[in-house]
Each structure stands twice: as structure tokens, then as C-alpha cells.
Amino acid sequence: MDNPLIIFLIGLGIFALFLWYFGTDSARKKRGIGTFLAFALTAFCLWAVNPPGEKIQKGIDLQGGSSFVIALQTAPGSEREITSDAQQQAIGVIEKRLNPEGTVDLLIAPQGEDRILIQMPGITEEEVDKVKKTIETTAKLDFALVHQQSAVLVPQIDSGNHIEPGWTVRDNIGSEEGERLLVKVRPDLEGKYVKRAFAQLAPTGWMIILNFDSEGAGKFGDLTAANVGRRLAIIMDGEVLSAPNLNEAIYGGSAQISGRFTVDEARSLASALENPLENPVKIIQKYEVSPTMGESTIKQGVAAGLSGLAVTLLFVLIYYKFAGIVALVGLTVNIILLFGAMAMFGFTLTLPGIAGIILTIGIAIDANVLIYERLREEMKAGKSLPTAIDAAYAKAFSAIFDANITTLITAIILFNVASGTVKGFAVTLTIGILASLFSALVVTRVCFGWATESGVLKKLSLLNIIPERRIDFLGKRRACFVLSCLLVAMTLVIFGVKKQDTLGVDFRGGDLLTVKATSEVTEDDVLNAISDMGLEQQPVVQTLQAAGEGEFIIVRSEFETGDQILEEIRKDLGQDFKDATSERVGPVIGREMAKSSLLALGFGIVGIFLYVTVRFEFSFALGAIVALLHDISIALGIVVLSGRELSLILVGAFLTIAGYSINDTIVVFDRVREGLRSKRGEVADVMNLCINATLGRTLLTSLTTLITVGSLYFFGGPALNNFAFTIIVGVFIGTYSSIFVASPIVLWWVRTRKKNLRREILDAEQAAVNPAGTP
């Protein structure tokens, strides 16, 4: 699958078959094309994903490793701007340092104009510090003469009794006595002439050999010849590595640095000197996961997925019987297509991506529920089974399509705006939505077509646990209006009181440490262990029980304090805490994430509003957007009230809530528009009738979504607990708003503006049928 031309031609052929499928009126042809598409795509994806362990790339959060975002800094005293050339130079240098032999699993890529992303899967905690030091070492090498009266003048300068213009005092780290030397401010020779550096073992220990290029060899020879008998300091990044005496002129084109080096230090320093950075760099974001924590995360994700899938399928099989088996077939194809597409296009599976897969299961089941509840109504109307199936799919199509497209809009926006592992959620959700549309509208219909045509399915029975009632929902709109206003006001008050405390590490910067305890540890135990560290702000400590995985400790602290806290609690609590995840976000990048997250939410809401306005009348678009804003604002308030902090993954959760809110509302509005086209009576009466008619669907889709997301909450571990909680809150609020908020807003608008909603719908339908306006 490495040939893009083959993938393109296959995609083109599949697209042509889709056009043929939806364009033909022949049930026989539709069944044949649909069958071919289902088998061909399933087989193709099975081939693409096999073997899954090799074809599906796992993110750092699942396999362990470290990820860094570094920012290029302007060199001290330099006014030169950071350019794309400087960025590329830094990328080349860092790659040579970290992967000199080309055998290390390494991803290094530019981000923006002055940042670089570095990902190293599989490295251990012991290797992380070495990697950080390797990355941040600028390795600016200089050669400067030592003042002949250095020993006399340095104490006078340190005490403030003397100033020596053109000279500066630097530490000699190669000296055992902690010597300080007075060296020239402007170097006598720059290190840019060094073409090769390597470590070598000498009788006195490890040293570094420097080889100059031809120009540098001449300059170094002249410098040493003119200063025989003096000391020459070899300076890297402002520190003196060594300062040997020049006993004679050195014209051989090489120099040596001796000191108290270990073999690793000598090799690392030689690599840095051979690959110096033009600009200093600073780590502004770090994400580190131990390999054992990655394995634990995979177990949690698999447990959450399988438990959610098992309970959902059991419910569907019991409730819909034979139709539930058809849904199972469609869901199986859905999952195969999802993993096949990920393998084919090289997408990386992350922990948020697993959340997207589990959410996809809920979306796929929702589509089947919409079809089957329509099928129940058509059979109740006395239609034959084949006719009822055709009518159910035809009438459910618009609601399923609109609901999935609005969720797709939010997923695409999240993918373009989000960063890091959250993109994995957007990827799996996007692929899952497209796969759900195919499995629900094509695969399950083909199954029903063959079952009825062959005579295997002659009669279909469905359970019904939701009794038919006539509830005056709109009559309760004033009480619900008051309730909604109070809940929104609660959100405003909470944010007004907590302010920045509502933001997590992702948005305000700091360190986030998650460790798995091997024995019981309380929050007070952790706080007592770090009480003597002298931190400016007291860290926030939480403990969390994950089903089947034990207890996790979560610590939020100041920037660049997480490593020290981990070391302190290991020492004080007597546990090794090898299962650990560490995240570090600088204040600047935190503010940028907060800004991009607000943009993502804003663009998502605007995108949904534009789609719904084009797809429906403005009255319905207004009701949908008000309900959406209502759901997000109340969910925000409840999440913060529960003691949780807003993070980047929760942006994905709130955009998912936006999609879910619109899904529920569209199902109701689709039936309201249908009712106003075909039924007489007051708009409010027709709306009540339609809300009652869709109540079973609304409650069942909410239930199936809650089952899948509930599995994330109970089995997904600390990383997905807040995400799942947010979605659960959103499902409850979205169900409430689709019944008690969206339709009352539409009714209020048409009455206030004295509009004829029924006429607007009929005119819009006529315009769609006859856009040119011809008779």
C-alpha cells in the first residue's frame, strides 16, 4: 500500500460504485453493488491492517517514551532574527546528536516558525535526562587566552575592587580545585572551524580530540605560535572545559580537551561539539510516559472498549432481536474499516484515539436505533416488511446524514486546531463517522435486502420498553426556562469565583504528574512528602481509583517542578512509582493552547450554525444553536464544579458534546418538519406530537451512548476519566435540551416574529425541488 497511485485508483473506483449505488432505483442492482462494496472494503481493510501489531502505529502515550517541544532562542548579545534556515539547522543538528547511527526510532519536525517537535518512543526514564541535556546543549565552542595575571585579578574582580575591560571571569569545570579564570570577552578563535570531534581514551582518562578544517588549522597554528607559554581556555556555552598551557606552536590542525570525563560524557560532548547549534534552545513542553504505564494504558483502553462494546451489543441483541444481529454485522464492518483506514494512511493510535473509537461505537449504534425505531413505526402502520424497511431507511436517512455531518464538522475543526495526542481523537472520530455512515446506510440495508429476498426474514419483532404517552413538553417550557437560566448562571458564577483555577496545566502552564501506587497512598501523604521542598505554590494532589488497575496519584504543580516532586515522593513514601506519566507545559505555550482551543470551539459552533442554517430554516437553526450553547455552558459549569480542571482533551469532549447536542436536536427537528408538512393543527400541538414520537429514539440513543462512554469512565484510567465524565454530563444535558429547550426556542421565535413556520417549510421544500422557479 505504499503506492499512492494504486490507492488513488482504488478510491476512485469505490467512489464510482457509491455514486452508482445511490443513483440506481433498482433494488436488485442496489443490493448487488452494496454487497460488493461491503465485501471489497472489508477485505481490503483486513488486508491493510494485517498484522495489526505492525500496521497500527502506537503513540507515545500507549508505548511509552518522551515528546518534547523546543523553542529556538536568540543568542545572547545577538540581534539576528530566528529564521526558517536556523530552524532547519537546529533540526539537522539535533537529529545528528540523538540519532548518529540512524538506528533510533525518532520523529523530529518543525512546528510554526521557531519550534521543533521531538518524539522518541520507548526511551526509559533514565535516558530522558540524558536526552534533555543533549537537546539543550548549544555547544558554542570558543578559544580564548587566559589573562597572565588571572590568579591575582580574579579575587579582586569577585570582591568588586577591580574591573578589567575586555576580560571576563569564567568557571573552569575541568579543574578539580574549582578554578576561576579571567579570559577574553571576545574569543581569539571561534569553534566554527572544527570539522570533527571524537572521544579517545588516554592514559590519564577520556579526552576529546578536535580536528580543524584547513582555514581553522592555520588560524589555530598562528594563535598558538604567537602565545607560547600562555594558557588557552577552551570554552563551551560560557564554561571553561580546560585551559592547557601552550608549550609550543601547534600546526597539526588538531587540539585536545582533557578533563574528568566519563566515557558517556566524552562521547556526548564530542557529538555536541561536532554539531553545534546556532541558536540556544529551550524545552517549553514535555510529555513523558514510562513503558509500563503505556502497557497499563493499553489494558485500560482495551478493557473500556470491550466492556462498552459487549454491554451495548447485548442490549441491542435483546431489544432488537434479528435486527440486532444485523446491527452487529454493521458494527463489525465499521470497526474493520476504521482500523484498516488508520493502517492504510499511517495514522497513529493514541489514548484519545481509543476514546474516539469507543465513541464511534455509540455513534454507529445510534444510527441503527434511528432506523429501527422508524421501522417499528412503519410496520405499525400496516406496511409489509420489505416496504417498511425501504421506508424506514428512506425516512431515517436525512436525520442520520445531518447528525453525522455536524459531528464530522467538529472533528475536522478539532483536527486542524488541536495539537499532540488530541489529534488522534479527531482522526479516529472522523474515520469512525464515515465508517458509521457506510455501515448503517449500506451494510445493514444490504443484509435486510438479502434476508427478505431469500425468505429467511419474513417477520420482524422488536421489544418496546418505552410506553407511548402524550406528554405536554412545551407546556413545561417556562419552568424549564427558569431551570436552564439558573444552571447557566451557576456556570458564570463558578468561573467568576475560580477564574484561572478552572484551567489545567495545558492552558496555564505547569507540570502534571500521574503515578500508579503499589500500595495505599492518601493525598495528605503526598502533601507531607513534598512540604519541605519550598515551592512557591502548593501543588494540587488528587487520588483516583481505576477499576482493575489500582490507585493513581495526580499532582499538578509549578513549571519544572514535576521531576523533583517525583523524586521526593519516591524517597519519602518508599515506593518506586515506575508507572508514571509526566507532562510539562510552559506558560507561553499554555496561553497559545487556550487561544487555539477557544478558536476551535468558536469555529465548531459557527460551522454547525452555518450547516444547520443552510440545511434547515433559520428558526430551526436558531433553536439548535441556542440549545448547543446551553449544553456546552452548563456542561462547563458542572465539570468545573466537580473539581476538574479544563484541559486540551476536554476541548475535544466539549466539541463532541456540541455534535451530540445537534444530533439529538436534528432528530427532533427532522420529525417536526415532517409533521408540519403533513399534519394540520397548531404548531405547538404538532411539535408536542413529534417530540413524543421521537422520545423513544432520543432516550435509546442516549442510553447506548451512556453505556459506551460509561465504560470509559469506569475502565479508561486517569487519562480518560475527565473526558468520559464530561461526555456523560453532555449526554444528559443534551437529551434534556433537545426536548425542553430547542423546540420551545423555535416556537418562541416564530410567535415573536409572527412567522408562518409551516409555510416556510413548504416554500423551502418547493425551492429545493424546483430551484429555478419554473412552473
Phi, psi of 645 (to 5 degrees): -105, 150
pLDDT of residue 601: 79
Give the position of cell 409489509: 384
- Evaluate if residue 4 carries a pLDDT over 70: no
pLDDT score at 420? 60
The pLDDT, as a whole number, for residue 775 is 47
> Averaging pLDDT over each range in 143-147, 197-201, 247-251, 529-533, which range is the top one?
143-147
Categorise residue 535: left if φ over 0, alpha if ψ from -120 to 50, beta otherwise: beta
pLDDT of 484 reads 92
Q: What amino acid occupies position 412?
A: I
The whole-chain average pLDDT of the chain stands at 81
Helix (H, G, I), strand (E, B), or coil: what is residue 606?
helix
Contact predicate 707/315, CB 8 Å: yes
Is pLDDT above 80 for 740? yes
The H or E element containing residue 441 is none
Backbone angles phi, psi at 175, to 5 degrees: -95, 135
* Cell (9 digits) for 123: 526511551
CA-based end-to-end distance of the chain: 53
Would you place residue 548 in the very low, low, confident or very high pLDDT band (cuts 50, 70, 90)? low
> Residue 74 carries which DSSP code?
P
For the residues of 48-89, what is the DSSP string, one character each?
A: HH-SHHHHSEEPHHHH-EEEEEEEE-PPTT--PPP-HHHHHH
The mean pLDDT of 279-285, rounded to a whole number, is 80
Distance (Å, whole) CA 761 – CA 264? 76
If pLDDT is split at 50, 70 and 90, which confidence band does 630 have? very high
What DSSP state is assigned to residue 456? Answer: S
Contact 293, 553 (CB under 8 A): no
CA dist., res. 122 & res. 569, Å (int): 24
Q: In this model, does residue 716 exceed pLDDT 80?
A: no
What's 245's DSSP letter?
B
Q: Give the span between the Cα atoms of 145 and 466, in whole angstroms.
A: 90
Give the per-residue pLDDT at 485: 93
| pLDDT, average across residues 547-555 | 71
Distance CA 574, CA 592 (A): 38
The DSSP call for residue 193 is G
CB–CB of 194/216 below 8 Å? yes
| Residue, of 139 and 734, whose pLDDT is higher | 734
User: 725 and 641 in contact (C-beta within 8 Å)?
Assistant: no
Specify whether the CB–CB gap between 654 and 418 falls below 8 A: no
Question: Residue 9 is placed in which grid cell?
Answer: 485508483
3-state secondary structure of 100: coil
Nearest to 616, CA basis, from 726, 716, 702, 742: 742
**Amino acid letter, 97:** R
Percentage with pLDDT > 70 across the chain: 91
- All three cell numbers of 658, joined, read 456540541
Say if residue 518's pLDDT is above 80.
Answer: no
State how far the Cα of 218 lies from the Cα of 304, in Å rounded to an integer: 68
pLDDT for position 308: 79
| Comparison of pLDDT for 625 and 102, the residue scoring more | 625
Confidence (pLDDT) at 182: 93
244: which strand partners? none
Contact 338, 432 (CB under 8 A): yes
Residue 517, phi-psi category: left (phi > 0), alpha (psi -120 to 50), beta (remainder):
beta
Highest mean pLDDT: which range of 32-36, 307-311, 410-414, 518-522:
32-36
> Which amino acid, 366?
D
The whole model's pTM is what?
A: 0.75
Give per-residue pLDDT as tens, 670-690: 888 888 887 777 888 888 888
Give Cβ neighbours of residue 232 (< 8 Å, ≥ 6 apart): 143, 144, 145, 146, 188, 223, 224, 243, 244, 246
When pLDDT is averaged across residues 151-160 and rounded to a whole number, the result is: 90
Average pLDDT, integer, range 489-496: 88
Would the pLDDT of 451 be above 60? Answer: yes
Cell of 267: 562521547
pLDDT at 772 over 60: no
Q: Indicate whether 423 pLDDT > 60.
A: yes
DSSP strands (E only) in 415-456? none
Lowest mean pLDDT among 249-258, 284-293, 366-375: 284-293
